[in-house]
C-alpha cells in the first residue's frame, strides 16, 4: 500500500511538472469518453424506444389501404376504387380471431361542426372500439365509443383536445400555421367543456360522449414510429357510412399481436383479399413491422459507428500515453538507476510508471465523462436536439475503460523501465 501511495504522489508531481505534455496525452482519452457515452446512450435509447413501441403501438403492424394507382392510372378509363364493407372486416376477424387488433377507418377531411351559433371547420374519422388498442396517447374524459354505438349506428362522437405544439424553429411554425385549417375547432375544444353536449356535424346532430386530451409532447412515450395522429373527431364507423359521410372503409390497421407469426398472418390476409377482391392488387398491404425493423437497424448501426469511433479515440489515446511513458522512462533513466541501486525492486519501478499512466487515463476519462454528460444533456437541449438518455453507469464505465486503456498501454514502457540495470542506468547521464 505504501508503494502504491508513493507511486500516486510521484505520478501527480510528474503530471503537474509537465502539464502541457500530460494534457495532450489524455485529450484523446477524453474525446473517446465523450463519443463512448453518446453512443451508448443512443443504443440504450433505441432499446428503450423499442420497449415503448411494443407497449404503446405494437410491433407486428400492417395497414390495408386502397390502391389508388389502379384507379387513376388509365388515361381513358376511370376504374372505381374497390369497396371494403364493415361486413368484410367482420368476416376477416371471424376468419382470423388470433389477430390482436383489426381497426377499420374512414376519413372525412373537411367537415363543419356547429355548437350553438358557432361554426368551425374540422375533420371526422370513423372507427370502432378496436382503435383504442394501439397508439392511445390520450387522457379520456367521459367514455370512448363502444360496440353498442357501432352496432346500432348511434350518433355519438368523441372530440380530441390537441396538446400545445412542441417548440420548434420558425420554418416548422410557419408550416403548422399554413396548414392548420382546424385551428378554430382546436380553440373551441380547448376553451369549452363540450362533454355530454349536443353538436352538429355537417348538419347532423351528435352527442359528445367523450373528450380525448392529448398527452403533452414531453410526457408521451417515445416510440420507434411516431404514435401521434392528426385527428379531431371520432365517431362510429357504421354511423358515418349510414349517414353518407363516406361510402366505404378507406383503410384497416392491423396488429397481429405476435412478431413470430407475422409473416403467416400477412400471407393469410393477402389470401383473404385475393379471394374477396381478385388478383389485381386492388389493395396495398403496408408491412409496418419491416419499417420498424429497418428504423431500429439504422439507429443501432449509427450508434455502433459512433461507438467504434470512440474506441478508436481510446486506442489513439492509449498509444499517446505509451509514447509519453516511454519518453518519460528514457528521460528519467538516472532516477531509475538510483532507485534500483538503493533497493527498489523491478515491481516498484513498474508500479510507478503504470500508476502514472493510469492516472493520465483516469483524468482523461473523468474529463471526457463530464463533457459527455454536458453534451448529452444541457448542450443538446439548448441546440434543440433532444437530451440523450445518460444513465449513471455510462460515465463510470467510460472512466473504467479509460483507466484500463492506459494500464494496458503502460505495461510495455513500465517493463522497459524495470528492465534497466542499475549500473547502465547510472551511466546513461
Question: For 158-183, what is each residue's pLDDT tens digit?
Answer: 999 998 877 665 555 666 666 677 88
pLDDT computed for residue 388 by the predictor: 72
| Lowest model confidence (mean pLDDT) among 7-21, 303-317, 406-420 | 7-21
Residue 303 CB contacts under 8 Å (≥ 6 apart), including other chains: 39, 40, 42, 43, 46
- Is pLDDT of 23 > 90? no
Burial (CB count within 10 angstroms: exposed 0-12, middle 13-18, buried 19+), residue 5 = exposed
Q: How far is CA 221 from CA 226, 263, 299, 421, in A?
A: 9, 27, 18, 66
Q: What is the mean pLDDT of residues 260-279?
A: 88
Domain boundaries defined on the chain = 2-52+299-427, 59-294
pLDDT band of 127, cuts 50, 70, 90: very high
Q: Which DSSP letter does residue 129 get? A: G
Residue 195 CB contacts under 8 Å (≥ 6 apart), including other chains: 141, 142, 208, 209, 210, 211
- Is pLDDT of 141 > 80? yes
CB 318 within 8 A of CB 408: yes
How far is the C-alpha of 370 from the C-alpha of 6, rounded, in Å?
A: 28
pLDDT computed for residue 32 by the predictor: 80
Residue 249 CB contacts under 8 Å (≥ 6 apart), including other chains: 83, 84, 85, 86, 88, 89, 104, 105, 106, 237, 241
User: pLDDT digits over 182-203, tens only?
Assistant: 889 999 999 999 999 999 999 9
Residue 329 CB contacts under 8 Å (≥ 6 apart), including other chains: 336, 353, 413, 414, 416, 417
Q: Which residues of 262-295 are buried (b: 16+ CB within 10 A; e: fewer)?
A: beebbebbeebbeeeeeeeebbebbebbeebeeb
- Is pLDDT of 228 > 90? no
- The three three-digit cell numbers of residue 119, written as one number: 361554426
Q: Helix, strand, or coil here: 233?
A: strand
Q: Would strands 283-287 and 101-115 be described as parallel, antiparallel, or unpaired? A: unpaired
Written as one string, the DSSP assignment of 169-223 is: -HHHHHHHHHH-TTHHHHHHHHHS--TT-EEEETTEEEEEEEEEEEPPGGGS---
> What does pTM read for this prediction?
0.73
**Which of 401, 407, 313 has the alpha carbon at shortest distance from 356?**
407
How far is the C-alpha of 143 from the C-alpha of 385, rounded, in Å?
A: 37
Q: Which strand (E) or helix (H) includes residue 112? A: strand 101-115
CB 331 within 8 A of CB 420: no
More confident residue, 297 or 213: 213
Amino acid at each position: 500500500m505504501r508503494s502504491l501511495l508513493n507511486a500516486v504522489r510521484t505520478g501527480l508531481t510528474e503530471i503537474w511538472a509537465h502539464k502541457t505534455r500530460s494534457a495532450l496525452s489524455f485529450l484523446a482519452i477524453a474525446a473517446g469518453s465523450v463519443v463512448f457515452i453518446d453512443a451508448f446512450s443512443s443504443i440504450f435509447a433505441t432499446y428503450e424506444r423499442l420497449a415503448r413501441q411494443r407497449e404503446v403501438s405494437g410491433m407486428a403492424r400492417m395497414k390495408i389501404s386502397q390502391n389508388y394507382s389502379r384507379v387513376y392510372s388509365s388515361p381513358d378509363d376511370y376504374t372505381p376504387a374497390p369497396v371494403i364493407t364493415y361486413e368484410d372486416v367482420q368476416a376477416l376477424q371471424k376468419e382470423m380471431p388470433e389477430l390482436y387488433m383489426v381497426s377499420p377507418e374512414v376519413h372525412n377531411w373537411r367537415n363543419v361542426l356547429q355548437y350553438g351559433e358557432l361554426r368551425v371547420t374540422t375533420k371526422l374519422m370513423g372507427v370502432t372500439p378496436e382503435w383504442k388498442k394501439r397508439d392511445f396517447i390520450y387522457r379520456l374524459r367521459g367514455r370512448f365509443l363502444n360496440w353498442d354505438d357501432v352496432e346500432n349506428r348511434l350518433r355519438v362522437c368523441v372530440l380530441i383536445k390537441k396538446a400545445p405544439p412542441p417548440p420548434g424553429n420558425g420554418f416548422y411554425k410557419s408550416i403548422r400555421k399554413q396548414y392548420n385549417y382546424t385551428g378554430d375547432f382546436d380553440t373551441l375544444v380547448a376553451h369549452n367543456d363540450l362533454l355530454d353536449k349536443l353538436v352538429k356535424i355537417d348538419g347532423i346532430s351528435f352527442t359528445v360522449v367523450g373528450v380525448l386530451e392529448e398527452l403533452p409532447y414531453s410526457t408521451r412515450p417515445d416510440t420507434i414510429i411516431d404514435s401521434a395522429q392528426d385527428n379531431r373527431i371520432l365517431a362510429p364507423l357504421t354511423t358515418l357510412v349510414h349517414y353518407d359521410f363516406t361510402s366505404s372503409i378507406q383503410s384497416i390497421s392491423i396488429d397481429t399481436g405476435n412478431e413470430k407469426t407475422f409473416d403467416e398472418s400477412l400471407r393469410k390476409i393477402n389470401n383473404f383479399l385475393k379471394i374477396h377482391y381478385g388478383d389485381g392488387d386492388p389493395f396495398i398491404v403496408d408491412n409496418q413491422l419491416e419499417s420498424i425493423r429497418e428504423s431500429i437497424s439504422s439507429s443501432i448501426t449509427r450508434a455502433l459507428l459512433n461507438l467504434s469511433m470512440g474506441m478508436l479515440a481510446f486506442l489513439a489515446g492509449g498509444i499517446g500515453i505509451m509514447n509519453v511513458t516511454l519518453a518519460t522512462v528514457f528521460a528519467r533513466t538516472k532516477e531509475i538507476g538510483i532507485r534500483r541501486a538503493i533497493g527498489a525492486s523491478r515491481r516498484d519501478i513498474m508500479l510507478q510508471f503504470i500508476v502514472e499512466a493510469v492516472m493520465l487515463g483516469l483524468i482523461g476519462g473523468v474529463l471526457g465523462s463530464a463533457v459527455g454528460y454536458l453534451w448529452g444533456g444541457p448542450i443538446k437541449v439548448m441546440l434543440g436536439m433532444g437530451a440523450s438518455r445518460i444513465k449513471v453507469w455510462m460515465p463510470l464505465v467510460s472512466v473504467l475503460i479509460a483507466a484500463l486503456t492506459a494500464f494496458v498501454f503502460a505495461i510495455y514502457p513500465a517493463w522497459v523501465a524495470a528492465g534497466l540495470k542499475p549500473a547502465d542506468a547510472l551511466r546513461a547521464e
